Amino acid sequence: MRLLRFVARRLLLLVPVLLGVVVVTFLLVRVLPGDPIRTILGPNATEADAAAARARYGLDQPLWRQFVDYLRGLGTGDLGRSIQSGGSVTSELALRVGPTLELVVLALAVALVVATVLGIWSARRAHRIGDHSIRVLALAGNSLPDFWLGLVLILVGYSVLGWFPAPSGRVDPDTHLTPVTGADLLDAVLTGNGPAFGSALGYLALPVATLSIVIVAPLLRSVRASALEVLRSEAYTAAAAHGLPDRLLRRGYLVRAALSRLPALAALVFGFGIGSTVLVEYVFSWQGFGQWALRGLLFRDYPVVQASVLVIAAGYVLVFLVADVVHAMLDPRVRI
């Protein structure tokens, strides 16, 4: 019951946060340098053409009226029409957000598993060769630019070894896959399409590996530091002195306590992963949310930029909500 009240309080805090994001984003995108209409129409467009385009997208209205129309659209799920393409932003977002979320979630899941296993293993062998080797490798992976690492993996995995498909999409062109969520791997599972699942998994391998290597270092350091604190604590020393089995010590004392800090850090790393997908998607021709948001920013596409920031903010607060709940489950003191 206390956990449910804890979750309810966190959910209530999301409303003013998202409302503040909506207001600030709406105002900031309109003070950016450049005119989106002139960017789309080009330098040869006349004033009459520009005025007609502004009227078509509602940019000739007063600022307060534009904001009221934007809020009314948000209430009905209408994020406006893209100035660049003329299409519905909601429809374009639905096509783009699934592949990017699939990529980031899988990369974060892989990084969490690797960080947990290696972090605890390294802490139990602190200041030995294995511990130093893992820390050096994690530091090196965190220092590598993600676009360079992606190119190296393509060179080795595709060009030299031939183990993975060419970085030219998300599934094979001749693979028939019925879209359900936009996330190809998940759609293949939901539709029971085995060939599409194998194809999507092959295309996901290299970009997921790229993101995982980049984001695993802070997670590994956190797990290792927490595990070292547990190993040096009086409770763990007393439990070991009483002759508890090694397996019980690891599961009952070490693992749970070592993971207590991980949810909040994983939420931060998730946001970093969303930002990193811009270059990773470009390298692997992923055509996901990151590239779509970047093009919207370059063309000063107000509806696209507003929708992108709103989705990222909503993703942040939801991920932090999940992190808070998991943290409260691992450490009941947080609920008080």
Structure tokens at 118: 């290696």
Share of the chain above pLDDT 70, in %: 92
Which tens digits make up the pLDDT trace of 287-311? 888 888 888 887 778 888 888 888 8
The whole-number average pLDDT for the span 152-160 is 87
**Which has more confidence, 20 or 46?**
20
Q: Could you tell me the maximum CA-CA distance found in the chain, to the nearest angstrom?
A: 86
How many angstroms separate the CA atoms of 67 and 80, rounded? Answer: 12
Question: Quick one: how far is CA 130 from the chain centroid?
Answer: 31
**CB atoms < 10 A from the CB of 175, how many?**
17
Q: What Å distances lie between residue 51 and 54, 55, 128, 335, CA to CA?
A: 5, 6, 70, 56
Which tens digits make up the pLDDT trace of 139-151? 887 777 888 888 8
**Which has more confidence, 67 or 245?**
67
CB contact at 8 A, 256 and 194: no
At residue 159 the predicted structure's pLDDT band, cuts being 50, 70 and 90, is confident
How many angstroms separate the CA atoms of 181 and 95, rounded? Answer: 8
The whole-number average pLDDT for the span 50-56 is 77
How many angstroms separate the CA atoms of 172 and 157, rounded? Answer: 17
Q: Is the pTM of this model over 0.85?
A: no
Residues 214-226 as b or e (16 or more Cβ within 10 Å = b) = bbbbbbbbbbbeb
At residue 335 the predicted structure's pLDDT band, cuts being 50, 70 and 90, is low
CB contact at 8 A, 16 and 23: no
